[in-house]
């Protein structure tokens, strides 16, 4: 199967009306928000079009989505989640908020590993809770000593909101790391909720480990939305470990009314029939990671970037360029290239930017050239 990231031209992409392509002026090259520049996998497109032709646009029903995820988990991760311990939710972040409500008091703090996905801060604080940061180590991995200190600060009854694979660094946590974090959480009376939305997207030679495969007392959120570019078709699954089944059983029935029925149809088709397309995407992303490393070495050697093990994101350390805490502002103003400023991801993000690699090699090349031009101008 051909590389899905090489199918669309820049002109074709600019005809899109989603946030990635319409938020900024037309002369800005957008490599920021987590949308992929791909056509849908054929089985997904077919399932959605067939549903629309049937007028099958009502309310969601059944366990097909959960069954499809369970089958993919068994095939790709050697893990068999129980369909009876899954419930559909509107999307991952809405599901996160619902899980927090199920397992903790409404004032309980939430621990996160910064720098981390900005909505973690926004959604948690919108519920009136405090965020307690446990920054990742300099290697972008979980620092157990720092995590222990954060758990002690947060106190018993707090929640650990785990990002796995980690956004923005692309770190894929190992079984040993997850087991150690789970034991630490249990010892401190902290419940764990894992955002595993990027689970299917890992680099060659890397294995994703589901949190619930090493800890039975947690809750997980998964979705087809990132791996198959279905963010606009809202649907996700909340999954409980064996020891958390009673918690998930208390999820209000009305929450399941929020997902899109057409979205669930598309997500289910992706999981059941989109494996070949996903493998082609993963190969394309590996190529793009190598391309980015070569481009940075040639044009911006002061920028450091550890190739991500997962996600389709690149976390660029631009502190060596001398552009201050928000180099993204300079890249946008002087180079007309949009990236996500690192400081929005919390402690540890200043001086970084996040780049979206789920696009064509030509766009990645143009983005780096524009960044280089912006640095040259800023250095004058």
For residue 279, the domain's CATH number is 3.90.1150.10
Are 260 and 318 found together in one domain?
A: no
pLDDT, residue 187, reads 98
The answer to whether 24 touches 210, Cβ cutoff 8 Å, is no
pLDDT, residue 257, reads 85
Q: What is the pLDDT of residues 211-220, one digit of tens each?
A: 999 999 999 9
Are 82 and 169 found together in one domain?
A: yes
Are 204 and 221 found together in one domain?
A: yes
Q: What is the pLDDT of residues 319-362, one digit of tens each?
A: 999 999 999 999 999 999 999 999 999 999 999 999 999 999 99
Rounded mean pLDDT of 268-281? 98
What's the number of domains the chain is made of? Answer: 2
pLDDT, residue 362, reads 98
Q: For residue 380, is pLDDT > 80?
A: no
Are 64 and 26 found together in one domain?
A: no
Are 61 and 172 found together in one domain?
A: yes
Domain that holds residue 318: 4-40+275-379
Are 257 and 282 found together in one domain?
A: no
CATH of the domain at 260: 3.40.640.10
Give the pLDDT band of residue 265 (cuts 50, 70, 90): very high
Cα dihedral 250, 117, 40, 16, rounded to 10, equals: 120
Are 214 and 229 found together in one domain?
A: yes
Are 157 and 256 found together in one domain?
A: yes
Residue that is last in its domain, among 273, 307, 322: 273
For residues 283 and 6, what is the distance between their CA atoms, to the nearest angstrom?
12
Residue that is last in its domain, among 230, 249, 273: 273
Are 269 and 286 found together in one domain?
A: no
pLDDT, residue 1, reads 85
Are 108 and 192 found together in one domain?
A: yes
Look up the pTM and report it.
0.97
Are 86 and 218 found together in one domain?
A: yes
pLDDT, residue 256, reads 85
Are 204 and 98 found together in one domain?
A: yes
Give the pLDDT band of residue 152 (cuts 50, 70, 90): very high
Residue that is last in its domain, among 209, 238, 273: 273
Q: For residue 17, is pLDDT > 90?
A: yes
pLDDT, residue 55, reads 98
Q: Within 10 Å of residue 128's Cβ, how many Cβ atoms?
A: 8
Per residue in 60-95, is it b (16+ CB within 10 Å) or e — as a string?
beeebbbebbbebbeebbebebebebbbbbbbbbbb
Rounded mean pLDDT of 141-157? 98
């Amino acid at each position: 199967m051909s590389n899905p990231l090489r199918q669309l031209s820049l002109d074709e992409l600019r005809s899109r009306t989603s946030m990635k392509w319409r938020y900024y002026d037309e002369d800005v090259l957008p490599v920021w928000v987590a949308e992929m520049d791909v056509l849908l996998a054929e089985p997904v497109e077919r399932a959605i079009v067939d549903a629309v032709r049937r007028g099958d646009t009502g309310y969601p029903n059944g366990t097909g989505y959960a069954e499809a995820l369970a089958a993919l988990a068994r095939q790709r991760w050697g893990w068999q989640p129980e369909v009876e311990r899954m419930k559909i939710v509107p999307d991952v972040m809405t599901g996160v908020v619902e899980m927090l409500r199920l397992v903790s008091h409404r004032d309980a703090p939430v621990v996160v590993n910064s720098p981390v996905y900005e909505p973690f801060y926004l959604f948690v604080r919108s519920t009136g809770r405090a965020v307690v940061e446990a920054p990742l180590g300099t290697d972008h991995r979980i620092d157990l000593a720092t995590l222990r200190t954060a758990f002690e600060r947060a106190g018993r009854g707090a929640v650990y909101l785990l990002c796995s694979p980690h956004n923005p660094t692309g770190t894929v946590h190992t079984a040993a790391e997850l087991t150690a974090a789970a034991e630490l959480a249990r010892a401190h009376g902290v419940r764990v909720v894992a955002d595993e939305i990027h689970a299917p997207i890992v680099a060659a030679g890397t294995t994703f480990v589901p949190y619930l495969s090493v800890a039975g007392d947690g809750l997980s959120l998964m979705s087809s939305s990132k791996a198959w570019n279905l963010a606009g078709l809202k649907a996700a699954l909340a999954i409980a470990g064996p020891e958390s089944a009673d918690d998930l059983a208390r999820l209000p029935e009305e929450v399941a009314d929020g997902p899109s029925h057409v979205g669930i149809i598309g997500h289910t088709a992706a999981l059941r029939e989109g494996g070949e397309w996903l493998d082609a995407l993963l190969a394309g992303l590996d190529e793009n990671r190598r391309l980015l490393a070569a481009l940075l070495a040639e044009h911006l050697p002061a920028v450091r970037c550890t190739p991500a093990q997962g996600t389709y994101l690149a976390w660029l350390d631009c502190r060596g360029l001398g552009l201050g805490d928000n180099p993204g502002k300079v890249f946008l103003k002087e180079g007309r290239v949009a990236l996500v400023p690192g400081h929005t991801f919390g402690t540890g993000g200043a001086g970084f930017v996040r780049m979206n690699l789920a696009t064509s090699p030509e766009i990645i090349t143009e983005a780096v050239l524009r960044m280089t031009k912006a640095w040259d101008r800023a250095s004058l």
